[in-house]
Amino acid sequence: MNTEEHAERFNKVAHRYATNRFPGRSQCIQKVLQLLHPQPEDVILDVGCGPGIQLVDLAPSIRTGFGVDPAASMIERAKSEASAYPNLHFLEGSAEHLPEAVRCGSVNKIYSNYVIHHLPNTHKREAIRGLAKLLPPGGLFILGDMMFNDDPGKHTDIFDYVGYVPENDSPAYVSDLEEMFSESNLIPKIHVLNPLVAVILGQKI
Protein backbone atom coordinates (compact mmCIF):
# COMPACT_ATOMS: atom_id res chain seq x y z
CA MET A 1 0.00 0.00 0.00
CA ASN A 2 1.39 3.47 -0.86
CA THR A 3 0.85 6.74 1.06
CA GLU A 4 -2.20 7.72 -1.02
CA GLU A 5 -3.84 4.36 -0.31
CA HIS A 6 -3.10 4.65 3.43
CA ALA A 7 -4.48 8.22 3.40
CA GLU A 8 -7.67 6.99 1.74
CA ARG A 9 -8.01 4.23 4.37
CA PHE A 10 -7.55 6.75 7.21
CA ASN A 11 -9.91 9.29 5.59
CA LYS A 12 -12.72 6.76 6.05
CA VAL A 13 -12.12 6.36 9.81
CA ALA A 14 -10.97 9.89 10.73
CA HIS A 15 -14.27 10.80 12.47
CA ARG A 16 -13.95 7.89 14.94
CA TYR A 17 -10.19 7.36 15.07
CA ALA A 18 -8.75 6.97 18.60
CA THR A 19 -5.10 6.27 19.47
CA ASN A 20 -6.17 4.08 22.38
CA ARG A 21 -8.09 1.61 20.21
CA PHE A 22 -5.06 -0.67 20.67
CA PRO A 23 -3.45 -0.81 24.14
CA GLY A 24 0.01 -1.18 22.55
CA ARG A 25 -0.49 2.00 20.50
CA SER A 26 -1.64 3.89 23.60
CA GLN A 27 1.36 2.66 25.61
CA CYS A 28 3.64 3.77 22.78
CA ILE A 29 2.38 7.39 22.61
CA GLN A 30 2.60 7.65 26.40
CA LYS A 31 6.31 6.75 26.23
CA VAL A 32 6.85 9.18 23.31
CA LEU A 33 5.25 12.05 25.26
CA GLN A 34 7.21 11.18 28.40
CA LEU A 35 10.48 11.52 26.43
CA LEU A 36 9.38 14.76 24.73
CA HIS A 37 9.71 16.98 27.87
CA PRO A 38 7.76 19.90 26.33
CA GLN A 39 9.21 23.36 27.04
CA PRO A 40 7.62 26.83 26.51
CA GLU A 41 10.09 27.66 23.68
CA ASP A 42 9.59 24.37 21.79
CA VAL A 43 8.48 24.23 18.16
CA ILE A 44 7.22 20.67 17.77
CA LEU A 45 6.31 18.66 14.68
CA ASP A 46 3.97 15.63 14.91
CA VAL A 47 4.48 13.51 11.77
CA GLY A 48 1.35 11.52 10.89
CA CYS A 49 -0.63 13.44 13.52
CA GLY A 50 -4.01 11.84 12.72
CA PRO A 51 -6.72 13.91 14.50
CA GLY A 52 -4.07 15.91 16.37
CA ILE A 53 -5.19 15.04 19.89
CA GLN A 54 -1.68 14.88 21.34
CA LEU A 55 -0.70 18.30 19.95
CA VAL A 56 -3.90 19.79 21.35
CA ASP A 57 -2.90 18.50 24.80
CA LEU A 58 0.61 19.95 24.34
CA ALA A 59 -0.54 23.34 22.98
CA PRO A 60 -0.62 25.28 26.30
CA SER A 61 2.93 24.14 27.16
CA ILE A 62 4.78 24.91 23.90
CA ARG A 63 5.40 27.83 21.54
CA THR A 64 4.24 26.27 18.26
CA GLY A 65 3.00 22.89 17.07
CA PHE A 66 2.83 21.58 13.51
CA GLY A 67 0.80 18.48 12.63
CA VAL A 68 1.25 16.85 9.23
CA ASP A 69 -0.82 14.01 7.78
CA PRO A 70 -1.67 12.89 4.22
CA ALA A 71 -5.31 12.12 5.14
CA ALA A 72 -7.37 15.27 4.46
CA SER A 73 -10.16 14.18 6.85
CA MET A 74 -7.67 13.73 9.69
CA ILE A 75 -6.36 17.28 9.10
CA GLU A 76 -9.92 18.62 8.98
CA ARG A 77 -10.75 16.97 12.32
CA ALA A 78 -7.44 18.15 13.85
CA LYS A 79 -8.19 21.76 12.86
CA SER A 80 -11.58 21.55 14.50
CA GLU A 81 -10.15 19.91 17.70
CA ALA A 82 -7.50 22.69 17.85
CA SER A 83 -9.74 25.69 17.21
CA ALA A 84 -8.88 27.20 20.62
CA TYR A 85 -5.12 27.12 19.93
CA PRO A 86 -3.75 29.61 17.38
CA ASN A 87 -0.23 28.23 18.02
CA LEU A 88 -1.16 24.92 16.32
CA HIS A 89 -0.99 24.44 12.55
CA PHE A 90 -2.31 21.34 10.79
CA LEU A 91 -1.25 20.71 7.19
CA GLU A 92 -1.62 18.01 4.57
CA GLY A 93 1.70 16.35 3.77
CA SER A 94 3.69 13.25 4.56
CA ALA A 95 6.88 12.14 6.27
CA GLU A 96 8.56 12.09 2.84
CA HIS A 97 7.01 15.35 1.55
CA LEU A 98 6.78 17.99 4.26
CA PRO A 99 4.95 21.27 3.63
CA GLU A 100 7.08 24.38 3.09
CA ALA A 101 5.75 26.01 6.30
CA VAL A 102 7.16 23.09 8.31
CA ARG A 103 10.50 23.08 6.49
CA CYS A 104 10.91 26.79 7.30
CA GLY A 105 9.35 26.54 10.76
CA SER A 106 12.44 26.27 13.04
CA VAL A 107 11.29 22.94 14.46
CA ASN A 108 13.44 21.76 17.40
CA LYS A 109 11.56 18.56 18.35
CA ILE A 110 9.84 15.98 16.17
CA TYR A 111 7.76 13.01 17.22
CA SER A 112 5.85 10.39 15.30
CA ASN A 113 3.63 7.66 16.72
CA TYR A 114 2.54 4.55 14.80
CA VAL A 115 3.20 6.02 11.34
CA ILE A 116 6.55 4.89 9.96
CA HIS A 117 5.37 1.26 9.73
CA HIS A 118 3.17 2.40 6.82
CA LEU A 119 6.25 3.25 4.71
CA PRO A 120 8.41 0.74 2.83
CA ASN A 121 11.96 0.57 4.23
CA THR A 122 13.52 2.70 1.47
CA HIS A 123 10.97 5.46 2.20
CA LYS A 124 11.57 5.11 5.95
CA ARG A 125 15.28 5.80 5.39
CA GLU A 126 14.56 8.80 3.13
CA ALA A 127 11.94 10.19 5.55
CA ILE A 128 14.18 9.88 8.63
CA ARG A 129 17.03 11.57 6.76
CA GLY A 130 14.78 14.48 5.69
CA LEU A 131 13.26 14.90 9.14
CA ALA A 132 16.66 14.83 10.87
CA LYS A 133 17.85 17.64 8.58
CA LEU A 134 15.15 19.94 10.02
CA LEU A 135 16.61 19.70 13.52
CA PRO A 136 19.30 21.91 15.06
CA PRO A 137 22.15 20.30 17.02
CA GLY A 138 20.68 18.91 20.23
CA GLY A 139 17.19 18.68 18.67
CA LEU A 140 15.13 15.55 19.32
CA PHE A 141 13.38 13.05 17.08
CA ILE A 142 11.22 10.60 19.00
CA LEU A 143 9.91 7.72 16.93
CA GLY A 144 7.39 5.37 18.53
CA ASP A 145 6.03 2.54 16.44
CA MET A 146 5.60 -1.12 15.78
CA MET A 147 9.16 -2.28 15.18
CA PHE A 148 10.49 -5.77 15.69
CA ASN A 149 13.15 -6.74 18.16
CA ASP A 150 12.38 -10.44 17.66
CA ASP A 151 10.83 -12.67 14.98
CA PRO A 152 7.18 -11.44 14.84
CA GLY A 153 6.06 -15.01 14.07
CA LYS A 154 6.87 -15.92 17.69
CA HIS A 155 4.52 -13.22 19.02
CA THR A 156 1.20 -13.72 17.23
CA ASP A 157 -0.46 -13.68 20.68
CA ILE A 158 0.11 -9.90 20.94
CA PHE A 159 -0.83 -8.90 17.36
CA ASP A 160 -4.26 -7.68 18.55
CA TYR A 161 -2.77 -5.91 21.57
CA VAL A 162 -0.38 -3.86 19.41
CA GLY A 163 -2.74 -3.61 16.40
CA TYR A 164 -0.43 -5.40 13.96
CA VAL A 165 -2.12 -6.46 10.71
CA PRO A 166 0.54 -8.08 8.48
CA GLU A 167 -1.46 -7.35 5.26
CA ASN A 168 -1.50 -3.58 5.98
CA ASP A 169 1.64 -2.90 8.01
CA SER A 170 5.38 -3.05 7.22
CA PRO A 171 7.30 -2.54 10.48
CA ALA A 172 11.09 -2.53 10.31
CA TYR A 173 13.47 -4.28 12.69
CA VAL A 174 14.65 -2.03 15.54
CA SER A 175 18.26 -2.58 14.44
CA ASP A 176 17.49 -1.25 10.92
CA LEU A 177 15.82 1.89 12.28
CA GLU A 178 18.68 2.37 14.72
CA GLU A 179 21.08 2.33 11.75
CA MET A 180 18.88 4.83 9.83
CA PHE A 181 19.00 7.16 12.85
CA SER A 182 22.78 6.92 13.15
CA GLU A 183 23.39 7.60 9.46
CA SER A 184 21.11 10.69 9.76
CA ASN A 185 23.30 12.11 12.56
CA LEU A 186 20.84 11.18 15.28
CA ILE A 187 22.30 9.42 18.34
CA PRO A 188 19.71 6.69 19.04
CA LYS A 189 18.57 5.40 22.41
CA ILE A 190 16.14 2.48 22.27
CA HIS A 191 13.22 1.94 24.67
CA VAL A 192 11.70 -1.49 24.05
CA LEU A 193 8.05 -1.75 25.16
CA ASN A 194 7.40 -5.32 23.96
CA PRO A 195 8.78 -7.58 21.18
CA LEU A 196 6.81 -5.67 18.50
CA VAL A 197 6.81 -2.06 19.75
CA ALA A 198 9.60 0.32 20.73
CA VAL A 199 10.42 4.01 20.95
CA ILE A 200 13.67 5.43 19.59
CA LEU A 201 14.88 8.72 21.04
CA GLY A 202 17.30 10.35 18.60
CA GLN A 203 19.36 13.38 19.53
CA LYS A 204 20.83 15.40 16.63
CA ILE A 205 24.60 15.72 16.68
Ligand X SMILES: C[S@@+](CC[C@H](N)C(=O)[O-])C[C@H]1O[C@@H](n2cnc3c(N)ncnc32)[C@H](O)[C@@H]1O
Piece of 110-118, 147-155, 180-188, 191-199 that binds ligand X (CB under 6 A): 110-118
Cα–Cα distance between 4 and 129 in angstroms, integer?
21
For ligand X, which stretch binds (CB under 6 A), given 55-63, 81-89, 109-117, 172-180? 109-117
- Give the span between the Cα atoms of 128 and 21, in whole angstroms: 26
* Piece of the chain touching ligand X by CB under 6 A; list 35-43, 90-98, 99-107, 187-195: 90-98
Q: In the range 1-20, which residues lie near ligand X by CB under 6 A?
A: 3, 6-7, 10, 19
Round to whole Å and give the CA distance between 143 and 28.
Answer: 9
What is the smallest separation between the CB atom of 196 and ligand X, expressed in angstroms? 14
Complete DSSP assignment for 149-168? SS-GGGGGGGHHHHT--TTT
Let me know how long the chain is: 205
By CB under 6 A, name the binding residues for ligand X: 3, 6-7, 10, 19, 29, 47-50, 69-71, 74, 94-96, 113-115, 118-119
